[in-house]
Amino acid sequence: MQHKNPKSIAHEKHEKEHTMSIAEVRGDVDYEAVIKEFGLERMQPMIEKMKAAKMKLPVMYRRNLVVAHRDFGQIFNAMINKKNFAILTGINPSGALHFGNKMFVDQAMFMQENGGKVFIPISNDETYVFKKAETLEKATENVIEVISDMIALGLDPRRTHFFVSTRTAKVYELAVKLSTKTTLSNMKAIFGFNNDTNPGQIFYGIVQSAHILYPQLPDQLGPCPVVVPIGIDQDPYMRLVRDMAERAGFVKPSSTNHIFMPGLQGGKMSGSKPETCIYLSDEPEAARKKIMGAFSGGGASMKEHREHGGNPDIDVACQYMKFMFEEDDKKLGEIFANYRNGSLSTGEVKSVLADKIVKFLKDHQKKREKAKPIAEKILANQS
């Protein structure tokens, strides 16, 4: 029998005690407060371990965009020791993907490059039961576009297992088994359900847990570490699945928690609000216009900006450079410093960013067209 040390037992107790619901993590987020409330671990010590292991880190880790985790140590150990592990990131096919979705794919690619197998559940069931599509059929129509986008972003289809939720029988079988491992009162506390919630939404929480544990099924990888990259507001889902995993005999899955990429007008990005995001399907010049109209952290006038500088921490163009459009850390530091001292204006940053995004979209959309036959074959094999 494996004995747990007192620190581990205390951590698990702490993890289960914190039940702040998803609805309570909205708007401007105090990440330190949420990390403490949810009983998460800060990511920085793990980032230092990855640096010491000479791992080539993507910007999200180098720039502390991934701020917290649960049990990432078991993923790190699997990477270092060349052991089986999986990364799972789900996609809701309710519409076109946007740059916020790209963050999840970038993390999946990093894990894939370090030996992990990627699993992508495409949650057409979620799209339907949460009323993002009128019919289940319409919820499935966008699947080919979604898979094509993810391949075009860089995922290797030979090492990526895409599966459509309603067309994967083992997901349903696993969800049925997991449904006996929790209670309705627990689901209500986590997700804020009430008497007006449709039963499909309640059961979907179980289905999502089945997605996360799916890589551990005997005909997949078997028992192994699984990591799920999520926005910090989604941690309640992880608390639910980790509790059920233990009861059902699975390895408790891990998670990483990243900060939110800001929307174009400030605040949170939302795929259902076109004014807040740039879609991967946007016409490149239309995306340029969106960037040029994005929220600024500069002075009220050019004169004021030159004299007093601006705040790159709230300027959307500066933040998009930080999140994914300036790979060179030294150059990014210069952009931020010059913006703060006023020698670089919002318009100048926006112009550089817009050029980068236009080029990215043109290249991406060509890759997506080439990926469509692969996506069609993947979907056909699940019919």
pLDDT at 160: 96
The mean predicted confidence, pLDDT, of the chain is 90
pLDDT at 28: 66
Write down the pTM of the prediction.
0.88
Give dist(CA 323, CA 128) in Å, integer: 31
Query: Is the domain of 321 the same as that of 348?
Result: yes
At 84, list the tokens. Answer: 């089986």
pLDDT at 373: 97
Q: Could you tell me which residue, 328 or 1, shows the higher pLDDT?
A: 328
- Domain final position from 209, 238, 260: 260
Tell me the range of 12-16, 73-77, 186-190 where mean pLDDT is highest.
73-77
pLDDT digits 0-9 by tens, 215-234: 999 999 999 999 999 988 88
Give dist(CA 36, CA 24) in Å, integer: 14
pLDDT digits 0-9 by tens, 18-32: 444 444 444 467 899
Query: Is the domain of 284 the same as that of 242?
Result: no
Beta bridge mates, 86: 117, 226
Q: Domain range for residue 357?
A: 274-371
Q: Is 94 exposed, middle or buried (0-12, 13-18, 19+ CB in 10 A)?
A: buried
Q: Could you tell me which residue, 48 or 192, shows the higher pLDDT?
A: 48
Residue 14 has pLDDT above 50, yes or no: no
Query: Which of 249, 181, 188 is CA-nearest to residue 213?
Result: 249
Whether residue 318 lies inside any domain: the answer is: yes
Residue 2 has pLDDT above 50, yes or no: no
Query: Which of 58, 16, 54 is CA-nearest to residue 235?
Result: 16
At 310, list the tokens. Answer: 């601006």
CATH number, position 63: 3.40.50.620
Residue 12 has pLDDT above 60, yes or no: no
- Domain final position from 205, 229, 260: 260
Residue 367 has pLDDT above 70, yes or no: yes
- Domain final position from 216, 232, 260: 260
